[in-house]
Chain A
Amino acid sequence: EVQLVESGGGLVQPGRSLRLSCAASGFTFDDYAMHWVRQAPGKGLEWVSGISWNSVSIQYADSVKGRFTISRDNAKNSLYLQMNSLRAEDTALYYCAKVPGPVGLYYFDYWGQGTLVTVSS
């Protein structure tokens, strides 16, 4: 059974940093690209970032480019999101999501339950 478990969320002041983690199990992690998607409270879904199976191809939404860094450790079956220079508008539930391929254009076939990031002074 595919499982994605996010952690690392919390309350952080504007301008500070936070690192999210996603622990994957139930599938061969290094066969698939992985993504982060967020959802502000009461709002819709926003794609944040994605990384190919081998970390060669990385993409970011314009809203986080230059502030967020996605990475993965295939030996640990883990995905990460380093978030710097956080803003109030980054407040959201952050989901880790799997796609059904190693790289390229895919939909999200599995999602974690999310970790909440609140940016406030």
Chain B
Amino acid sequence: DIQMTQSPSTLSASVGDRVTITCRASQSISSWLAWYQQKPGKAPKLLIYKASSLESGVPSRFSGSGSGTEFTLTISSLQPDDFATYYCQQYNNYRTFGQGTKVEI
């Protein structure tokens, strides 16, 4: 099984900050990685797929990079609506999620 490890688990930031979340895979997954945003009581929302492709309608302040085993999600200038939990997910072999990163004030 492919394990996904996110860091940090919690991130304290302020509006306007540049935020970076890291996701590491236990083996190479090429670029088969997605990022989701989840707010309390809501379903996850797709942000990024294939490591760096921005889903339609997602603000351009979100970006993804990486390949192989190491990936990052970057929010260039944190907005009030961005305080949420973020998950990475591999879809190279079955599907596995990271444990999540909570972005808080």
In the bound assembly, the distance between CA atoms of A61 and B2 in angstroms comes to: 12
Within 8 Å by CB of B43, from A44, A46, A113, lies A113
In the bound assembly, the distance between CA atoms of A1 and B91 in angstroms comes to: 25
Within 8 Å by CB of B89, from A107, A112, A113, lies A107
The main secondary structure of chain A at its interface with chain B is loop
Q: Contact: B49 with A59, CB < 8 Å?
A: no
In the bound assembly, the distance between CA atoms of A111 and B47 in angstroms comes to: 13
- Closest-by-CB residue of B relative to A93 is B43
Q: Contact: B92 with A105, CB < 8 Å?
A: yes
Could you say which of B18-26, B72-80, B94-102 contacts chain A? Answer: B94-102
In the bound assembly, the distance between CA atoms of A45 and B45 in angstroms comes to: 12
Check A108 for interface membership: any CB of B closer than 8 A.
Answer: yes
Tell me the B42-58 residues at the A interface (CB within 8 Å).
42-46, 49-50, 55
Q: Contact: B97 with A107, CB < 8 Å?
A: no
In the bound assembly, the distance between CA atoms of A1 and B7 in angstroms comes to: 35
Check B71 for interface membership: any CB of A closer than 8 A.
Answer: no
In the bound assembly, the distance between CA atoms of A105 and B46 in angstroms comes to: 15
Check A27 for interface membership: any CB of B closer than 8 A.
Answer: no
In the bound assembly, the distance between CA atoms of A36 and B97 in angstroms comes to: 13
25 pairs of residues in contact across A and B, judged by CB atoms under 8 Å:
A35-B95, A44-B99, A44-B100, A45-B36, A45-B38, A45-B44, A45-B89, A47-B89, A47-B95, A47-B97, A61-B94, A62-B1, A95-B43, A105-B32, A106-B91, A107-B34, A107-B46, A107-B91, A108-B44, A109-B46, A109-B49, A109-B55, A111-B43, A111-B44, A113-B42
Q: Nearest Cβ distance between residue A85 and chain B, in whole angstroms?
A: 22
- Closest-by-CB residue of A relative to B33 is A107
Q: Contact: A46 with B97, CB < 8 Å?
A: yes
Q: Nearest Cβ distance between residue B95 and chain A, in whole angstroms?
A: 4
Within 8 Å by CB of A45, from B49, B87, B94, lies B87
In the bound assembly, the distance between CA atoms of A95 and B89 in angstroms comes to: 15
Q: Contact: B97 with A108, CB < 8 Å?
A: no
In the bound assembly, the distance between CA atoms of A52 and B85 in angstroms comes to: 29
